[in-house]
Structure formats: C-alpha cells, structure tokens
Amino acid sequence: MTCIAGRVRADRCSTDARSARRASFVLLVCTAIMSTAAAAGTSVPPNKAVVDVAIAMLRPVVEAAIADTAVSADRALVIVVLDGPGTQPNAPLAEYTFGNAGNTRVDYGAYARDKAQLAARERTDTSVLREREAAHRSTDLPLVGGVHRKGLTVGVSGAQPWFDEAFGVIVVEIIHALVEQRRAGESPPT
C-alpha cells in the first residue's frame, strides 16, 4: 500500500490506518476541487468576511492533512490571501495559521507572503513560473504554492509543494463559490 504520492512506506500505512484514510480523503478533496480549478471564471473581488468563511470551511481538511508528516513535515501551514485592486493592491488581506505554524524554525508566513506576491506580480501560479524557469534551466526556481486565479491571489507554505498549491487552489475555488452564492442571493452556509 502506498500513501500520499508514494512518500509513506507500506508498513507505516498498515499500522496507521487512520492517517492513511485521512490522507486519502484529503487527496480526494484536493483532486475533486483542482479538477475544476482551470475553468475560466469571472474576477472575484476579495472580501475579508468571505475569506474568513472560506478558511473556516477548509480548516478541518487542512488540519487533518497536516497531521500527516508526509503532507507537512512540521505539521504546520500558513495561508495568505492578498487584497486585489482595493485600497492597497497586493497587500495581505488576511493570513491564517494552522497546526504548529509559528512554533517552527521556518517562517512559513514569510514564504507564503513571498509566494503570493510573486504570483500577483506575474499574474499566474508559481508552479507555472517554475515550469517556465526550468525550461530555461534557471538555477533560481520559484517555490510552488502561489496561486493567482479568478482575480484572487493566495500564497500557501508549510506542506509539500503540491499540497501548498492544492490548498491555494481550494481557497480560491471556495471564495469564488461563496461570492457566486452571494450574487445569486442565497445566504452562505453556517
């Protein structure tokens, strides 16, 4: 049996079935949401109240995921959402910490802010920038985890790069769904 991108040995998975089920659930959620992430959408103006609701919806998934050291070695994660074309363009609108963030030797908040700033400046995901730079054989590759889609920019740090990006995409998609829900005149879930 293999867990999370083949990074966990089979004997650990069999002895820690709960962790494997949790990781499988997180992977399923990430895959389902990321499959719709490439779809074009209208620009979403960031709003802290909407972002707070989106993070509250995502928090149980993130906490379950980072409990597995195959997802986050330090069991920590920071999500930064930038303000869009508001009063302070590309200034952090909100920052959210999970798990051990702030109690590690790594400043995941700084990394998340840097990833978000790079994604905002270049108006694309940092994974795309990394692929472009790799094609040019650059030695200074950007870190994956900055997401710029649908008028929103998010930076995530603390997990494996593919999970950083997945959580960023999920944040964008949930915010977009909440804004669309509001536009349709429906109240958000409580």
**pLDDT tens, residue by residue, 89-125:** 678 899 999 999 989 999 999 999 999 999 998 899 9
Q: Could you tell me which of 182, 134, 175, 178 has the C-alpha nearest to residue 154? A: 175
Q: In this structure, what token pair is assigned to residue 172?
A: 């964008």
Share of the chain above pLDDT 70, in %: 67
For residues 74-97, one letter each, b for 16 or more C-beta atoms within 10 angstroms of the residue's C-beta and e for the rest, the string is bbbbbbbbbbbeeeeebebbbebb
pLDDT band at 142 (very low <50, low <70, confident <90, very high): confident
Residue 18 has pLDDT above 90, yes or no: no
Residue 187 has pLDDT above 60, yes or no: yes
pLDDT of residue 133: 75
Sequence-distant (≥ 6) Cβ neighbours of residue 79 within 8 angstroms: 55, 62, 95, 96, 98, 112, 154, 155, 156, 167, 168, 171
DSSP-assigned beta bridge partners for residue 155 = 80, 146
Q: Could you tell me which of 52, 156, 33, 181 has the C-alpha nearest to residue 99? A: 156
Q: In this structure, what token pair is assigned to residue 98?
A: 């999970």
pLDDT of residue 54: 96
- Beginning with the edge strand found earlier in the chain, give each strand of the sheet holding 152-157 in spatial order: 92-99, 76-82, 152-157, 146-149
Q: In this structure, what token pair is assigned to residue 31?
A: 């895959």
pLDDT in tens, 60-99: 999 999 999 999 999 999 999 998 765 566 788 999 999 9
CA distance 124 to 99: 28
CA distance 172 to 156: 12
CA distance 101 to 109: 8
pLDDT of residue 7: 34
Average pLDDT on 20-33 reads: 46
Give the torsion through C-alpha atoms of 128, 133, 139, 140, to 10 deg. -50
Cα–Cα distances (Å) from 54 to 90, 140, 141, 144, 178, in that order, read: 19, 33, 30, 21, 8
pTM check: above 0.85 = no
Fold held by 10-183: Beta-Lactamase (3.30.450)
